[in-house]
Chains A and B, each alone.
Chain A
Amino acid sequence: MKSGSNLERILTGGHFAVTAECGPPKGTLGEMVRRKGELLKFYCDALNVTDNQTAIVRMSSFSGCVLLKDLGIDPVMQMVVRDRNRIAIQSDILGAAALGIRNILCLSGDHQRFGNHPQAKGVYDIDSIQLIQMVKRMRDERKFLNGEDISGEVPLFIGAAANPFADPFEFRVRRLAKKIKAGVDFIQTQAIFDMERFLRWMAMVRDQGLDKKVYILAGIIPIKSVGMARYMAKNVAGITVPKEIVTRMEQAKDAKEEGVKIAIEIIEQIKEIEGVHGVHVMAVAWEDIVPRVVKEAGLMPRPLV
């Protein structure tokens, strides 16, 4: 066991994993995190807390994870390299380990220009792949980036993101291989709507045997409205929404119901894909829907390991 986290035990135990995501508030009300935690607790194996997502200042992922830990949830701390240098990152990792956080997701981060403080200086001291490498060394060798010894253990299950829908397509699998080389244990992909492209990507992944080297969790975003479908199709770099899905949302009598239906269909298809080890449900501003989606996709109850 690298970390002993619930997520790790689920995946190493051969179960199909379910993770979900919760966004912290733009304020200090810990209650808002706890509420989401209570809602999702039994419907996922681990729960991500986003890190100043889209560069909008929110309560930190670290503190959100501590709040969730108190509820008995296995949190996944997301860490972007946009806002912290190597000194602060290592420091936070030590703190997270000390406070019982056992999963970390290493990310580049959305550019600060997208956020609510676009004039901020982006740090990018190290990139996400270097971060993976660094965390692995901290865990397996108990060494800081500079080679000095760390006192105590750093039991972290290391995750990263993968985007089968970004370009250059041929390079995406190579980039995954690079993250594996750096030491990543699990991957959460960007939201899948374009099943055809995802299948092609998975075929390439399997071709290179990468599905045997890393646990892959397929990303799902339940669509709440037509507006949301159109917005994602047009404005979010790295998400591809096929026309058929936008049309379905446009023609649906009850948009939310259609959104749930589509999400469940996608999950059902994903369950059949060889090399996929789970799903990561990102119900942005719609965490309420997660229990239903997980249940109706036949993923309940979550195994106790």
Chain B
Amino acid sequence: MIIAERKPIKEILSLTNSARRILILGCKGCVTVCSAGGEREVKILGCIIRMYRKKNGKPVEITERTLVRQCDPEYLDQLFDSIDQFDAVLSMACGVGVNFLADKYPATVCLPALNTKFMGGSEAQGIWTERCAGCGDCILGLTGGVCPIARCSKGLFNGPCGGSVNGKCEVNPDIPCIWQIIYDRLKLLNQLDKLDEILPVKDWSVSSHGGPRKIVREDLTI
């Protein structure tokens, strides 16, 4: 899922500084799961902004609401009747949600409360790591299900580089060398010969490098 984290408080306060009536809009999707922008986080941020404004004598009216998702226009429709009363909507969704919100309500100031970071999952409680780079042409069948594009600091296809020591990446000892993991995985699966093949150069035109992407399913469109 998409992993995000709340922007630093000072940045959010600065972004919302000129707004008097703010809608803090949460999302029950990914950002709830990673505790960044769900109902609870909306409440917390509400408290924080009110406390700041109280301290500085700058009045604010905060409305708190959480939608099932912000990346689906049908849920954003629910805001139609009330959106005009707000000076700004502070969205606690990931970047996708903020974009959709702005698309739907172009005359409203839409602000991001989060920094959207990556596609990943939870390794342990409170810890999330990146797993997928959305490259558009998945090679996981060749690497034991472990992605070198998302998880190798240099995105090597025929790794590891010479900086792999004790299973750690040269960039940061907290980062495991993913090629060590791929090696171990393929060894376990008896597929080490896959590593003798030279993986060919990547077609980046199907990744975000090729321009913003779109999928149309003719069998599903109305």
Contacts and interface: CB of A to CB of B under 8 A. Distances in A.
Q: Do A and B interact directly, with beta carbons closer than 8 Å?
A: yes
Interface of A: 82, 86, 108-111, 113-114, 122, 124-130, 133-134, 145, 161-163, 165-168, 171, 174-175, 177-178, 181-182, 190, 237-238
A16 B94 CA distance: 60
A108 to B, nearest CB: 4
15 contacts: A108-B154, A111-B153, A114-B170, A122-B155, A125-B202, A126-B201, A127-B155, A127-B156, A130-B157, A130-B200, A165-B165, A175-B160, A181-B198, A237-B163, A238-B163
A184 to B, nearest CB: 12
A154 B160 CA distance: 29
A238 B156 contact: no
B162 A124 contact: no
A182 B180 contact: no
A190 B162 contact: yes
Interface of B: 153-168, 170-172, 177, 180, 183-184, 192, 195-196, 198-202, 204
Contact of B198 (A122, A161, A178, A190): A178
Contacts of B177: 167
B82 to A, nearest CB: 41
Contact of A168 (B154, B156, B183, B204): B183
A213 to B, nearest CB: 14
A167 B164 contact: yes
Residue with the greatest number of chain B CB neighbours at <10 A, chosen from A110, A168, A174, A190? A168
B154 A129 contact: no
Contacts of B161: 108, 128, 166
B162 A122 contact: no
A250 B162 CA distance: 28
A166 B184 CA distance: 15
A90 B101 CA distance: 44
Given A124-B154, A125-B204, A168-B183, A238 B162 contact: yes
Contacts of B196: 174, 177-178, 181
